[in-house]
Amino acid sequence: MIKNFLLAALLLIPMLSYGELFLEITKGSEDPYKVAMIPFEGNARLSKKLNNIIRNDLIRTGEFSILDEELLLPVKIVNDELVYSDWKLLGMDYLVTGTIVKTNNSLDINYEIYDVHKKRKVRSSKVFGIPNQIRQLAHYTSDGIYESITGIKGIAATRLLYVNEIKDSQLISTYKLMLADSDGANEKTLLSSSEPIISPSWSPDGRRVAYVSFETGIAKVFIQEISSGKREAVLSKDTQISSPSWSPDGKYLSLTLYQDGNAEIYILRLRDRILTRMTNQFAIDTESSWSPKGNKILFTSGRSGSPQIYELDLRKLNPKAKRVSFEGTYNAKASYLPKEEGIIFVHRSNDGLFHIALKYKRENFIRVLTEAKMDESPSVAPNGNMVIYGIKEENLSMLAGFSLSGAKFKLPASNGEVREPAWSNFLR
């Protein structure tokens, strides 16, 4: 009995101490790069922490498998040359070593990546930081490792926005607009309100956010500076305004306005707040999002009788919306992949369940990528390899993610429910 209790207590301790970060890898990819990570030299406590964060970052991409620490061998160096044969026998593709250099007001990380097959050093880099930025430094390091091995820019150092709803004992909700690192750690509250907050959207430089708040009783779009918390409504109109999306150059905001009797897409030039109407339809037009080059927008429209995705070419005079989704009776909330080679969106399957789907431009079929019941609001990472979206588990909203290579992970809320994730651009 006491034994059982002790065991339970032991199991609880790690859960409590890592309460902010509960990362659940549910699936990896089939052919991961095998990497041995030697604990970085220097302060043992920092090294352990660093190692953990980097390890999690790399595993979450689904493209890496990291050798268990117990199986690590000592690094042998003969005549200034690393001995690769041991690592080869262990089946490793890469070896990562590093040192932590800590002074009173600086914390730097040097790291090296060795290619076990080619038998040479493929990267030697330094990350500069200050002592309380260990998480940030770890993310930069793992992005460096990821990029030099895969050739794809890493997204560990990017950030997420999402909405957290917390109910108190009288079941009264508080809505919080939250900011966190891409691994869910380092949560910060940007705004707290007794009325719903929805549709957060990043400015391309990552310094500002736009969102819809119902604090005045109707939907209004606000822009808020992250560092100062300074915020303002984008339009002083007395109409419902929703689903803001920032143009890639940061100069425009596309919006949905309800002033014409039904929802229509408008583009707002932020400098002088000039509005241009983009759609003119008796049906609902909403959920606009920009192409990476800023010359097109995707939006959801009910003009065909069911919600479908349309594309508008902004370079044309009086552009005509082109329908891009044809499968099934519900396709919505679309966004482009970063090279515009395809779109990610919500699709209702024949079984009536909502899934995240992908459609490549050159293909005439869709690929359903998730299998829960009520998957919603997908947001694509800036390298195009990962998607974060909302799921429902036992009636609780939480966030889940997947990489196109097949990895899956979950980010359950530490408190209450989370939904409406938005992935930032690269932040450097």
Sites of contact with other proteins (CB under 8 A): 29-31, 33, 93, 117, 150-152, 341-342, 358, 360, 362-363, 367, 369, 385, 404-406
In contact, 113 and 95? CB cutoff 8 Å: yes
Q: Which is nearer to other proteins, 3 or 362 (CB)?
A: 362
278 DSSP 8-state letter = -
The Cα angle at residue 153 between residues 397 and 62, in degrees rounded to 5: 50
Q: Which is nearer to other proteins, 31 or 41 (CB)?
A: 31
Q: How far is the CB of 30 from other proteins (least distance, A)?
A: 5
Token code pair at residue 254: 């596309």
Q: How far is the CB of 226 from other proteins (least distance, A)?
A: 31
Q: How far is the CB of 336 from other proteins (least distance, A)?
A: 14
Q: Which is nearer to other proteins, 98 or 342 (CB)?
A: 342
Q: Which is nearer to other proteins, 408 or 419 (CB)?
A: 408
Token code pair at residue 339: 């090279």
* Residue 420, φ and ψ in degrees, nearest 5: 55, 60
In contact, 175 and 192? CB cutoff 8 Å: yes
Q: Which is nearer to other proteins, 40 or 336 (CB)?
A: 336
Q: How far is the CB of 378 from other proteins (least distance, A)?
A: 14
Look-up of token digits 């957060």:
200
- The beta strands (E) that lie in 258-385 are given as 264-269, 274-277, 285-290, 296-301, 308-313, 322-323, 331-336, 342-348, 354-360, 367-368, 376-380
Beta-carbon-side half-sphere exposure of residue 134 (alpha carbons within 13 Å): 15
Q: How far is the CB of 408 from other proteins (least distance, A)?
A: 12
Q: How far is the CB of 221 from other proteins (least distance, A)?
A: 33
Q: Which is nearer to other proteins, 5 or 365 (CB)?
A: 365
Q: How far is the CB of 135 from other proteins (least distance, A)?
A: 27
What percent of the residues of the chain are helix, what percent strand, and what percent coil, each to the nearest 5? Answer: 15, 45, 40
Long-range contacts of 309-316, Cβ-Cβ distance < 8 Å, separation of 24 or more:
309/334, 309/343, 309/345, 310/285, 312/265, 312/278, 312/279, 314/267
Q: Where would I find the H helices in 63-168?
A: 85-89, 134-150
Q: Which is nearer to other proteins, 88 or 277 (CB)?
A: 88
